[in-house]
Structure 1
Amino acid sequence: MPLVTSTEMFKKAYDGGYAIGAFNVNNMEIVQGITEACQEEHAPVILQVSKGARAYANHTYLVKLVEAAVECCPDIPIVLHLDHGPDFETCKSCIDGGFTSVMIDASGKPFAENIEITKKVVEYAHDHGVVVEAELGTLAGIEDEVKVAAHEASYTRPEEVEEFVSKTGCDSLAIAIGTSHGAYKFKPEQCTRNEKGILVPPPLRFDVLEEVSKRLPGFPIVLHGSSSVPQEYVKMVNEFGGQMPNAIGVPEEQLRQAAKLSVCKINIDSDLRLAMTGTIRKFMAEHPDKFDPREYLKPARANIKELVRHKLVDVLGCAGKA
């Protein structure tokens, strides 16, 4: 099937109490690992591209890789989405260049300006059959081209969401309830230690999510910065020459709870990077004589695939929902 928008995906996800995985892609192996897992688990998927990915790999290469995935995985619906579009021009370029969904992130602007910018993107996108994700509230953390200082993070104000959605016409809304960009989502002093001495991050603000859901019944909500930072890969990175102390993510059980509510899209990027980097570091350390990229990228791709499969089945709940 051709690339699709997320409209039907989100309706089914909302009604079914699950979420669609939105996985960031930067190269061929990541695209392959994600989509092969989704094809085998018969799961719908959103492949999303950031401003940084477009700068790294080139817009055309990424679009063609996703088009290849559509051809190789014909049994699943695939959305091509712009993640964190910084301005109208970037969104327009992606809309004109084959994307079926874009995010305009004007959440760092004053409320009225966020509405104005988002509405402009929505009008252009809808005229071209493309859907739009917007954002209210700001996330902490650093990842790719998304950089927000921790002290600037702010929870979404539920009392603003109805006016914002009504005036912009956006199709989904990213909210801030305590998730964060990157692999260092929480400082150690924000966390508590369980009986095994493992750092446990503060819980997500489900009260904010539930209030937003009451004010926007049936409307799809999005969570950014939702990687769980698997500790087995953090350990692998550190064991084989990396330095990632205190890398902490969002507990998967909290993401599953969010997916059972109104969250229809959950963004995952850092987990993919950790799986790839940890695997490559381990391979290089154990095989210092190897230099063929295919030899270390093959197991890296396989581990991305298994990580995505786990997310689809155990976290997002979207396996079998294509």
Structure 2
Amino acid sequence: MSLVRMDYVLKKAQKGGYAVGAFNFPDLSSIQGIMQGAAAKNSPVIISPPVFTMDEMGEEMCIRCIETLTHEYPEIDVVCHLDHCSDFERIKRCIDYGFTSVMVDGSALPYDQNVELTCKVVDYASRFGVSVEAELGHIGGVEEDIVVDERKALFTQPKQALEFVKATGIDALAIAVGTAHGFYKQKPKLDFERIAEIRAITDCCLVLHGGSGVPDEDFKKAISLGITKINVGTELKITGNFDVQKALFAEATHGDVRKIQHQVRIKTQEIVEHKIDVFGSAGKMAQ
């Protein structure tokens, strides 16, 4: 099966009341583990190269690896989605290489400039049948020292979200509702009421970033309120990759270093399968 657009799998998720996981990867072994997890659970999957990975592997290498794996798992809907990127030229290159979805991140810009950049990307992407995600509000890192009032000020405002979706024509909107990138030092507090408010006024697919460390019950509640895409990156990078390599390095250097890649695939698959179960997308390829 060839790659599919992201809005194709997310619209089905919207109707079915589940979410599709978007998984970042740091290397090829992780891509394989993600695909193995999705295939084992018969679930659609979004494989999402982050910019730091493409700096090492290159945009074309990322898409070609993912394309090749789709031939091994033809029963699974797979999206190749560029994660957070504010560089229009890089976004264009990814579209030209065959990515089926891109995320333009203008959230650090003033609202009008965010709209302008996003519209520019939507215009280019639409020529090639590529779906577009954008971000409104600010999804920070867990190291950021933000007091409550400041934190709420950075959350996505429901009325502005509706205006943004109408002005840009995007397919998916990443909203800031209390999650953060990276691992959490304390339990995150999601603004469930805000998710419900945004869902009530727009049918645009809603995205939750910062999915590493959010409690399973919070994921399920967010999905019940309208979240249809959840990003998972740090957990795969650290727990699924770095920690495995660190634990096996001494042993593997005296034997076969391929043991490391094998164990990375196994651990990555384990994490992905668990997330798929929580997100509710297991078995959805059979429907």
TM-score range, shorter chain: over 0.9
Contact 1:19 1:317 in 2 (8 A): yes
Q: How does the TM-score come out when normalised to structure 1?
A: 0.83
Say which SS state the counterpart of residue 264 (structure 1) adopts: strand
Match of 1:259 among 223, 227, 230: 223
Is 2:198 the partner of 1:212? yes
Q: Among the aligned pairs, what percent are the same residue?
A: 39
1:23 CA drift (Å): 0.3
Q: TM-score, normalised by structure 2?
A: 0.92
Partner of 2:176: 176
Aligned-pair CA distance for 1:71:
0.8
Specify the SS of the correspondent of 1:83. strand
Aligned 1:42-61 pairs, distance under 5 A: 42-61=42-61
The match for 2:236 is: 272
| Cα displacement string for residues 127-146 of structure 1 (whole angstroms, at most 9, x for unaligned residues) | 1110100100011117xxxx
* Partners of 2:46 and 2:79 within 8 A in 1: yes
**Runs of at least 5 residues in structure 1 that lack an aligned partner in the other structure:** 143-147, 192-200, 229-249
The answer to whether the 8 A contact 1:140-1:150 is kept is no
The DSSP-based 3-state class of the residue aligned with 1:22 is: strand
How far 1:280 sits from its partner (Å)?
2.3
Residue 37 (structure 1) shift: 1.2
Q: Secondary structure at the match of 1:298?
A: helix
Structure 2: gaps (5+ residues): none
How many residues matched? 279
- Structure 2 partner of 1:236: none
Distance 1:275 1:85 in 2: 24
Asked if the contact 2:31/2:66 (under 8 Å) is kept, the reply is yes
Is 1:203 the counterpart of 2:189? The answer is yes
In 2: Cα distance, 1:293 partner to 1:61 partner: 22
Amino acid at match of 2:210: G
Distance 1:137 1:289, change over 3 A: closer
Distance 1:26 1:208, change over 3 A: same
| Partner Cα distance (1:267, 1:202) in 2 | 15
2:266 to 281, 302, 311: 302
CA distance in 2, matches of 1:22, 1:46: 4
Structure 1 residues 296-305 or 174-183, which shifts more?
A: 296-305
The CA deviation at 1:253 is 1.3
Give the C-alpha shift of residue 279 in structure 1.
2.1
Q: Give the C-alpha shift of residue 122 in structure 1.
A: 0.4
Choose between structure 1 and 2 for higher RCO, CA contacts under 8 A separated by at least 6 residues.
Answer: 2
2: distance between equivalents of 1:203 and 1:124? Answer: 37
The correspondence of residues 54-93 of structure 1 with structure 2, limited to 5 A, is 54-93=54-93
Letter in 1 for 2:274: H
Q: What is the distance in 1 between the residues matched to 2:35 and 2:5?
A: 17
**What is the identity, as a one-letter code, of the residue corresponding to 1:270?**
T
